[in-house]
Every structure is written in structure tokens, then in C-alpha cells.
Amino acid sequence: MKIDCNIDSTALILRLRKGERRLAYAAVNAINKTAKRIQAEERRQLAERFTLRKTEFMQRMAAVIKPFASVKQGRAFAEISVGQKPKLLLSAFERGGEREPLTPGAQKVAVPVVGGPARPQFAQPVVPEFRISRLRFDRTKTGRRRAGVVRTRTYLVPSTGIFQRTGPEPEDTTPVYLFAEDQKLDARLGFIETARRIARRWFKEEMERETVNAIARSKGQGI
């Protein structure tokens, strides 16, 4: 996303020796500092609006600045975006929508049951041993069940879910995942609106500060 801002107070700095170059650096610094302010606010809001299971990773993905504005590369803008790692749903929370199954060919989404063996607590990530990709209910070439399925004592009920045997009786079972057709993602991220609000609030101030700094560094040359 690009944020376009008009700069008004340029006449004075352009009168300096090498004024255009000084103005370019002032603008680039103001843009990058504003981008960092947006990034900080996006990360703060993420922790406020979501339960983070992998905090450090999610904070990095909340607002990625790439590229930064650069005088040497002739780039008078910075781009800020939500991370796009595989299986990362964060960007889908900007406009909201429906969560699609991650498994190719699947018709429903496997939702880990909170309090079950895959996700003992809501704030915890899925236990690695109970990840769908590790269970793999298809059999080996010799017809035997996968070792992971035997070890976790899990079995699949088509269109219903994945369960774990907890004892010898048929009723000794607990749900691990339940299959759901409709998994709605609400529009809670607010990335675009936050970026606009921070840019409107801070860019002008950052530009004025950088202009004053450029004049101070010129030591009166060209005025």
C-alpha cells in the first residue's frame, strides 16, 4: 500500500546549496519514519485484537515494510503490507471472508477442539504430533496404518471429524478436530484505516522536523 502526501514547505530548503538533494533526503526520512510509526501501531493493535500463539512471528507479519523509501534508488515511497506466508490467514482479516480448507481437495475446515489433545488451551498452537499433516490417515504401501496414527490413537470419521481413542470401550473417545463447512473471518485487522490515520497524524510533523534538520545541517550555506 502506498500513502501519497503533498509537501508544502519546500521553498526554503530549495534555496540551500544542494537544496534538491537535501529535500530528497528530508522527504525519504519523513516517509520512512512515518512507515515505522504505522508498523508500531499495527503491531500494538494486533496484540490487542487477536490471541497470539506465535507472538514474535505474528508481530513481524503484522506490518512488513518492504521496500523503504530511498534517495539512492530514486524511490520516494515506502510500501507496508501484511505478511503473506503460506497458510497465514492474517491478511484475510482485513476485509473478512470465509476460511478455505488448507488441505488440497478438502471440502471442510478441520477445527481443533479447544481442551482436546491437539489444542489443550485456546492460546496454545496445535501440538506438533497432532497436526493434520502428521496424522496422514492414508495407509502405507504395505497396507499398514501410519505410525503417527497408531501412536496418537486417532481415527477419522468422514464429514464429521477426527477423534482419539481413550479406552477399550466404543464410547471411550474424545474429539480432536471437528469438520466445519463455514468458517467466517471477521474484518478486525483494520490495517488500511490504521495506516491512513497514522500517516495523516504524523507525516507532516516528520517532514517539518526533517526540513529543520536539513537547514541546520547546511550551516547557512545558500541562504
* pTM confidence score: 0.76
Average pLDDT, the chain: 86
Give residue 6's pLDDT: 55
pLDDT at 127 over 90: yes
% the chain with pLDDT above 90: 56
Segment 140-155 shows an average pLDDT of 82
Give residue 3's pLDDT: 52
Cell, residue 73:
534508488
pLDDT at 1 over 50: no
Least confidently predicted of 51-60, 83-92, 93-102, 138-147: 138-147
pLDDT tens profile 155-165:
999 889 999 99
pLDDT at 13 over 90: no
